Structure 1
Amino acid sequence: MSQLPFDCLNEIFEYLEDDRDTLFSCLLVNRFWCKVSVRIFWRNIPNINTLINCLPNESKQNLYRSKVIISTLTSKLPIFNYATFCKVLSFNQVYDKLESILKLQFFKNNQYFLKNLINIVAQELFKMLMNKIPSLKKLVFLQFSNIHFTFCSEAKDCLKNLSELRCNSNVYPSFFYELSQICHNIQFFHIEFYFFETNIPNKLEELISVQENLKYLSIRYGRDEVLNRIIPLLKKPKNLTKLRLYGIRHYVSLSFITKFTNLTNLQELELSFNYDEDFVDFEKLQYVIFPRLRIFKIQRACSFLIKFLENNGNNLQEFCVSDNNNSLNLTIAKFCPNIRKLFTGFKNIELDTIKIVLNSLQYLESIKVWCGGEFLNEKEALEAFVKYSHKNTYEIILCHQYYTRSELPSKDLESFFVSWTNRELQKSLSLIIIKYDASSLDTDVENMEIIKKYIRLGVIKKFEVKAYDDEFV
């Protein structure tokens, strides 16, 4: 493999982009592997100290004049010009890492002094990155009040092919204005508003309106007034394939979606609201047909959702609902035959319903269910999973209800694995536990010994325990 040409090895390493540990190991094999893999490893800045050492002499002198003395800063040039490999730039990530470095050296100084130093170093880094990065793909700027990014002349080349932008709405106006002059092909746009914000800055409106190829729009905390102004700004709404409205905690009407009969290419729709009153006008949305909708995620199970699934369920491949009821689960079984991935819950009196759902969804690959409290316990969920799911199903995710504790005896866990092993056309199992704060089955020593045993036997392909977070999916 070490004799493979650069292009072949590079294509192999591309598959490791998200596996940072393995990619780092590739750096250490030999010089040739290092030369190939370093370009991928450094797409997302892994080490600020190294990047600081890449600063040009002029920037280093500026830091010295500003009395910023960084212990890791040396006159020795790094092996590679690392800045040229960067494709992702997060202002927040750079700022946080600089804070960790500088506060160790300037811990005796006050916070104002420290933040001023951080800003000085950050400006020099951003200036270098804009000059060195040939084509930035992703930019994250979730506002810090003391960061004011200055666009240099080289920014035009660096940002002209920007495809993903994540930002707050209250970033200073010149930031949006400069981007609107350079970036016209953003495909992924994530905007975070503040809770009581009802106006959109004019320069942000301008930036949205000039996008030629926007495919994914994500809005966090947007109120009714904001949404009704943003959507009409879309230059080519037919290009939109993903729409995500998340964490909106104040009154918002969904009627604006019904105005867009030309959202014919929408493939993913996520509506994550916190209160029932936020679902005003969903009764209008229930009649809208999205012919290409494949993924639908919604926080609350309102009564109008059943009609929506009757109209759009046939093409769905993934459906997630955090709050549900028996009628909705039966609707899923009847109108969503092509579901591959499902997140729902079954009350502890709904064993017949989970049987109907698992029997009906013959293409189902992964199911995530609530566990404990008013929902099925672990034993009931696992038994139904192994008895009634089709041959394509290989993953079960048990999501514990807040502070509910695991009550699964080791003998019942062993029985589940034995039954899974004896299944016809058995696939290796993925078992994922999501817990809030209480103990789950992984905290039981006997259960973990059983799990390790079936991992060694190849019955379990993946076992993972995750912490519950605010994301309902």
Structure 2
Amino acid sequence: MSATLPELCIRFVLEELSNDTRSKHTCILINRHWCMASIHEIWKHPLYYCQELEQKDRYIQFIDTYIKCLSPQIRESLGLESNTKTTFDYTTFSQWICPNGLRSCVKLWLDEKIKQEPDKYSNLLKTENKTIFMIGKALCEHLIINSKKLIGVQLNQNEINIFELPQAEKVLSKVTHFITRFSCEPSRIGKLPNVLSLATEISKNIQVLNITCFNVEKENDISIRKLSQLIRNQKRLKEFTLTYWNPGFMNLWTSVLQQYNTLTTIILETIIFNESNPFLLHELGIFKNLQVLTIENCKNFIFSIKKIDISNSFRKLKKFTVVMSQPFPRYFIMVILQQSNENLRKVEVIDMDIKEDVLPYCIKNFTRLLNFSCSINIENFNLLLSLLKVSPNLETLYINELEDYLIEEDEDLILFDFLCSLGENFPKSLYYFTFDLDWEFNNDSFSKFLKICKEKGINFKTLIFAQSGFFNDLYLYELLKFYGDRKLDELVLHDMNNFSKECLKEVKKQVGIVKFAKGYPEKFNLSINFEEDN
């Protein structure tokens, strides 16, 4: 029956397996019907799946397949074998073009070919960088011409300028996702400014823009000016993410402010704003359609309700996240909660003590939360329990520990049953629980907690105990009693070395995905810098 499911049903199955790359690969083997649907899914962003598996061989296999998709004439002109071909032209399924990622994979592939067949490929060694560049460029050109569903571009420094390739204007004018990650160091910036110049003229329908930048030294850096122009040129920018910015932010932000009618998501991460010219939080009030706001590990803010009318601001906000160990205007958080409480479904206030404001307000006013994250200690633990009691629809809970808070010896008794107290107050709707504290509990307490949750009908999908370094085989076998037999989609633990091979084998058999915060065998990370040929 499952072998002949309608394509829409298969698509739903593959969506459920979105975090399980290995299971997706297994779907290819069911029959031709499943194979075609799975191939579309896996090859829409193959670099992403290779990254998930973190295996060097996967990158080499992927690029070998892509190279075989090139025409025999192109391969022959590049000095490559031209008598092999693939079952499909896999590039037609691709939704992303990542020039630097392709180029890095080509280098891995070529190095491996030279090592395995030196007589055949050693002639390419003398001009290796040029060969890598030419193969990478040929692949990019093939993708642009043949991909039927291209939606995204990912750019780094030292790029192949994909915007000057044949048919680039026609195809890349339609991309809706644009990611760029680069360093502004003169020795590393490469051709990116030239690439961005063409991008500003061609790509004007970007809806999702993600910028990560390092080492900005000048306020008027040329790459920042190009990015500012790129932002201004967009017709319907919806999501904007900025990470690791220093000088030049205000030039960029001025362009972002011009998108006040269309932006629905703003994410600012790891930015040290200028101390003499801090970030004006009240300017966020002009984005009337804002639905998602995240401010994480940034520094230097000002907030004033006198500077702008915010009576109609933040009304549509559904997700609000602040992760902040630095001083932050708490009044801004309360204004957000007050303005948006009818629609807000996700609240995350992490690394801040919220026992006197955020928690009491949420307990009193929020009964429809789906996702809540906070930092706790013994003093606000009971407030968290109170929030759980009034959140019957809560699906996701994340808790970590306030920094610099030490548990006193006389608090040990209080802590003894804290895990069971959580279980007793969990709503039945809870699916995802992250316990990111190093508070220790014994196996009996863990067993009681699991029993309470199971008897309440809580069907966990993800459990994360990444800080619980005291876990051993006994804890995992106890977990399998209640949530084994493939009930859990994902389990995250502290250290792989804490468990026996037999135990891990059994857990991996009964749980969808098992991850560890440490103790993994060394994984392969695709990160290759290129020196240009003279």
TM-score w.r.t. structure 1 length?
0.82
Q: What corresponds to 1:432 in structure 2? A: 463
Cα gap change, 1:381 to 1:200, in 2 (>3 Å): farther
Q: Partners of 2:13 and 2:380 in 1: how far apart?
A: 47
Q: What corresponds to 1:408 in structure 2? A: 441
SS at match of 1:190: strand
Q: What corresponds to 1:279 in structure 2? A: 300
Q: Relative to structure 2, which stretch is displaced further, 53-62 or 192-201?
A: 192-201
Q: Relative to structure 2, which stretch is displaced further, 158-167 or 313-322?
A: 313-322
Percent identical pairs in the alignment equals 17
Q: Partners of 1:86 and 1:52 in 2: how far apart?
A: 14
Cα gap change, 1:249 to 1:380, in 2 (>3 Å): farther
Cα gap change, 1:17 to 1:75, in 2 (>3 Å): farther
Question: Shift of the alpha carbon at 1:468?
Answer: 5.6
Question: Shift of the alpha carbon at 1:193?
Answer: 2.3
Q: Is residue 150 of structure 2 the alignment partner of residue 136 of structure 1? A: yes
Matches within 5 A, 1:147-226: 147-149=160-162, 151-168=164-181, 172-197=192-217, 198-199=219-220, 201=222, 202-223=225-246, 225-226=248-249
Question: Shift of the alpha carbon at 1:454?
Answer: 1.1
TM-score w.r.t. structure 2 length?
0.74
Q: What corresponds to 2:388 in structure 1? A: 358
Question: Shift of the alpha carbon at 1:439?
Answer: 2.1
Q: What corresponds to 2:70 in structure 1? A: 55
User: What amino acid is the match of 2:392?
Assistant: Q
SS at match of 1:429: coil
Question: Shift of the alpha carbon at 1:8?
Answer: 4.8
> Which of the numbers 276, 280, 283 marks the counterpart of 1:259?
283
SS at match of 1:350: helix
Deviations along 1:2-31, whole A, 9 cap, x unmatched? 785875566556636724333322322333
User: What amino acid is the match of 1:156?
Assistant: E
Consecutive aligned runs of 4 or more in structure 1 exceeding 6 Å deviation: 107-112, 375-378
> Which of the numbers 344, 354, 357 marks the counterpart of 1:316?
344
Cα gap change, 1:431 to 1:124, in 2 (>3 Å): closer
Question: Shift of the alpha carbon at 1:164?
Answer: 0.4
Question: Shift of the alpha carbon at 1:209?
Answer: 1.4
Cα gap change, 1:392 to 1:167, in 2 (>3 Å): same
Q: Partners of 1:112 and 1:333 in 2: how far apart?
A: 68
Cα gap change, 1:200 to 1:292, in 2 (>3 Å): farther
Cα gap change, 1:44 to 1:411, in 2 (>3 Å): same
SS at match of 1:230: helix
Cα gap change, 1:313 to 1:300, in 2 (>3 Å): farther
User: What amino acid is the match of 1:76?
Assistant: T
Deviations along 1:22-50, whole A, 9 cap, x unmatched? 33223223334333432232111361111
SS at match of 1:217: strand
- Whether contact under 8 Å (2:241, 2:268) holds in the other structure is yes
Question: Shift of the alpha carbon at 1:175?
Answer: 1.4
Cα gap change, 1:118 to 1:463, in 2 (>3 Å): same
Q: What corresponds to 1:41 in structure 2? A: 42
Q: Partners of 2:470 and 2:442 in 1: how far apart?
A: 11
- Whether contact under 8 Å (2:272, 2:300) holds in the other structure is no
Question: Shift of the alpha carbon at 1:115?
Answer: 3.8
- Whether contact under 8 Å (2:315, 2:339) holds in the other structure is no
Q: What corresponds to 1:31 in structure 2? A: 32
Q: What corresponds to 1:348 in structure 2? A: 378
SS at match of 2:421: helix
Q: Partners of 1:345 and 1:251 in 2: how far apart?
A: 28
Q: Partners of 1:299 and 1:359 in 2: how far apart?
A: 24
Q: Partners of 2:108 and 2:236 in 1: how far apart?
A: 38
Question: Shift of the alpha carbon at 1:126?
Answer: 1.0
Cα gap change, 1:148 to 1:414, in 2 (>3 Å): same
Q: Is residue 359 of structure 2 the alignment partner of residue 338 of structure 1? A: no
- Whether contact under 8 Å (2:24, 2:38) holds in the other structure is yes
Q: What corresponds to 1:85 in structure 2? A: 93
User: What amino acid is the match of 2:220?
Assistant: N
> Which of the numbers 396, 403, 417 marks the counterpart of 2:450?
417
Deviations along 1:368-406, whole A, 9 cap, x unmatched? 111598378986542222122333334321113xxx4x6
- Whether contact under 8 Å (2:68, 2:85) holds in the other structure is yes
- Whether contact under 8 Å (1:177, 1:203) holds in the other structure is yes
Q: Partners of 1:345 and 1:375 in 2: how far apart?
A: 14
Deviations along 1:241-296, whole A, 9 cap, x unmatched? 1001111135366644533544111000011124xxx1320455998431011111
Q: Partners of 2:451 and 2:485 in 1: how far apart?
A: 11
Q: Partners of 2:280 and 2:258 in 1: how far apart?
A: 16
Q: What corresponds to 1:397 in structure 2? A: 434
Larger RCO (alpha carbons 8 Å, 6+ apart): 2
Deviations along 1:165-215, whole A, 9 cap, x unmatched? 001365623312322332221110011222434335343332211211110
Q: Relative to structure 2, which stretch is displaced further, 226-235 or 178-187?
A: 226-235
User: What RMSD in Å do the two structures reach over aligned CA positions?
Assistant: 3.5
Cα gap change, 1:447 to 1:112, in 2 (>3 Å): farther
Q: Relative to structure 2, which stretch is displaced further, 178-187 or 96-105?
A: 96-105
Q: Partners of 1:211 and 1:20 in 2: how far apart?
A: 34
Matches within 5 A, 1:228-267: 228-232=251-255, 235-251=258-274, 255-259=279-283, 261-267=285-291
Cα gap change, 1:111 to 1:268, in 2 (>3 Å): farther
Q: Is residue 318 of structure 2 the alignment partner of residue 294 of structure 1? A: yes
Q: Partners of 1:298 and 1:16 in 2: how far apart?
A: 29
Q: Partners of 1:13 and 1:359 in 2: how far apart?
A: 34
Question: Shift of the alpha carbon at 1:462?
Answer: 5.1
Q: Relative to structure 2, which stretch is displaced further, 107-116 or 194-203?
A: 107-116
Cα gap change, 1:360 to 1:2, in 2 (>3 Å): closer
SS at match of 1:321: strand
Q: What corresponds to 1:388 in structure 2? A: 425
Question: Shift of the alpha carbon at 1:132?
Answer: 1.3
Cα gap change, 1:196 to 1:363, in 2 (>3 Å): same
SS at match of 2:132: helix
SS at match of 1:345: strand
Cα gap change, 1:458 to 1:188, in 2 (>3 Å): closer
Q: Partners of 2:33 and 2:486 in 1: how far apart?
A: 35
Return 5+ residue gaps in structure 2 as ranges.
48-61, 183-188, 494-514, 519-534
SS at match of 1:204: helix
User: What amino acid is the match of 1:240?
Assistant: L
